[in-house]
Structure 1
Amino acid sequence: MKNRIVIFIAVLFLSCTPKPEKIEYGLDTCHYCKMNIVEKVHASEAVTKKGRVYKYDAIECMISDSNEVSPEKVALYLVMDLELPGDFIDARQATYLISEAIPSPMNAFLSAFKNKTDALEAAREHKGEVFSWEEIRNKKLLE
């Protein structure tokens, strides 16, 4: 009997562990704008402390959705590195670029980089402005 209870508690605990989900490009829809998620370079996710995953077609959608997905409830904010799309990076550690030379799905021209050096180089090349996570969260991205 004790073994069953221990197993039940372990399964319950592991099922609520916050972790990202694979995005099914072309099938999954953005939680914020309801568009299909088709671009790997701008996809993002917010994962709550209870393990619920919210998928977004653009970083600006994830940031703008904080009214429904309260930052206090979020365990993970994840974005794609513009240079290496396909694997999520921690949005809180990323560096952000706004450049009209690099369109994003909702036309905020927002991209993320794992390395600040890459973001600064892209800003020089594409005439853009670089932001930290805190700076970009405080910026009005979608009207």
Structure 2
Amino acid sequence: MQTLKHYLALTIFVLLVSCNVSPKPIDYGNDGCHFCKMTIVDKLHAAEIVTQKGKVYKFDATECMINFLDEFDTSEIELYLSNNYSEPEALIDVTQATFLISKNVPSPMGAFLSAFKNREEAKKVQSEKEGTLYTWQELLTHFKD
């Protein structure tokens, strides 16, 4: 009976750990972009998708993540994340973020696209670097055009 309890406890633990739906740290300089296959080195522009089953896809730029969406069943996605330009390496929820496209802020794949945790941060950089602000939905529409 004791062995059965240990087996059940271990099984439950493994199921909980294997179904963990959360971001994974990006190993800059080692992880590769799931879309373009480049090594992820830029700590300001990387992105990540986490599926409902906990599978993580990493990208060297938000634009790679957006392009990846064309070939993926988006109903399976739980989290869309991008680096916060104002806080390198920190991942933020893109559905709540503000994006800036500015020719004065280069990004790895040439879209000049940066993500910000809030509109105020984005406006501050926009005032210094110029460019256009977007919500996540506006950005998706912009990339489809």
- What residue identity is the alignment partner of 1:76? L
Q: Partner of 1:42 in structure 2?
A: 45
Mapped pair 1:79 → 2:109: no
TM-score, normalised by the number of residues in structure 1: 0.91
Residues 1-143 of structure 1 correspond to what in structure 2 (within 5 A)?
1-140=4-143
Tell me, in whole angstroms, the C-alpha distance in 2 between the residues paired with 1:56 and 1:69.
Answer: 14
Tell me, in whole angstroms, the C-alpha distance in 2 between the residues paired with 1:14 and 1:27.
Answer: 24
8 Å CA contact 1:56–1:62 kept in 2: the answer is yes
8 Å CA contact 1:94–1:132 kept in 2: the answer is yes
Alpha-carbon offset, residue 14 of structure 1: 2.8
Tell me, in whole angstroms, the C-alpha distance in 2 between the residues paired with 1:11 and 1:109.
Answer: 42
TM-score, normalised by the number of residues in structure 2: 0.90
Tell me, in whole angstroms, the C-alpha distance in 2 between the residues paired with 1:67 and 1:33.
Answer: 14
Does the residue aligned with 1:119 lie in a helix, a strand or coil?
helix
CA deviations over 1:64-83 (Å, ceiling 9, x no partner): 10123322111111111111
Does the residue aligned with 1:122 lie in a helix, a strand or coil?
helix
Give me the CA root mean square deviation: 1.7
How many residues are treated as equivalent by the alignment? 142
Tell me, in whole angstroms, the C-alpha distance in 2 between the residues paired with 1:29 and 1:6.
Answer: 36
Q: Gaps (5+ residues) in structure 2?
A: none
Alpha-carbon offset, residue 111 of structure 1: 0.1
- What residue identity is the alignment partner of 1:11? V
Larger helix share, 1 or 2: 2
8 Å CA contact 1:122–1:128 kept in 2: the answer is no
- What residue identity is the alignment partner of 1:29? G
